[in-house]
Amino acid sequence: MANKRFNATYEKIDARIKVQSDVFTWTEDGMHFYFAPALDLVGYGENDIEAQNSFELVLKEFIEYTHNKKTLFDELERLGWTINKKKKRALPPTTEQLIDDNEDFKRLLQRNDIKSHSRSIQFA
């Protein structure tokens, strides 16, 4: 599993959304997975590129849906993010907080095939 730091910016006429969080990757039964525990989002595919593209699509759909429903900050808060609605900012929970709150994530981190590196995603 790899720990990838991602930055995402989503822009529409009425909004600009930037997201920063960790993404973890691993391979299981020949499938590649991308998982952002702070957003509870996962993408997968038969290879790393398919998994990355799947994750980016899921992330984009999450941001578009919650933005259109005007529930983005509510959903992030439900996921443990610290929200400052006046400044329209949100900070993700720490890995330690995620481990404390999510037994599945804790078990996932114990896998031997976890790798770590960084990347960024931009939406415009």
What are 69-119's pLDDT values in tens digits?
999 889 989 999 888 878 777 888 888 999 999 999 999 999 988 865 544
In terms of Cβ atoms closer than 10 Å to its own Cβ (0-12, 13-18, 19+), residue 35 is buried
Residue 122 pLDDT grade (very low, low, confident, very high; cuts 50, 70, 90): very low
Amino acid 123: pLDDT = 41
Q: What is the mean pLDDT of residues 31-58?
A: 94
Q: Rounded to 5 degrees, what angle do the CA atoms 13, 58, 52 make?
A: 110
Can you spell out the DSSP letters for 61-106?
HHHHHHHHTT-HHHHHHHTT-EEETTTTEEEPPPHHHHHHH-HHHH
The mean of the pLDDT values for the chain is 82
Instruction: Please provide the distance, in angstroms rounded to a whole number, between the alpha carbons at the two ends of the chain.
Output: 28
For 68, the token pair is: 């259109």
Amino acid 15: pLDDT = 60
Q: 124: Cβ–Cβ under 8 A, 6 or more apart, which residues?
A: 9, 10, 11
Which carries the bigger pLDDT value, residue 13 or residue 40? 40
Which carries the bigger pLDDT value, residue 52 or residue 118? 52
Amino acid 11: pLDDT = 53
Amino acid 79: pLDDT = 93
pTM: 0.79
Q: Are 49 and 114 in contact (CB under 8 A)?
A: no
Amino acid 116: pLDDT = 55
| Dist. CA 106–CA 73, nearest whole Å | 25
Q: In what order do the strands lie in the sheet with 2-12?
A: 2-12, 15-28, 31-36, 41-45
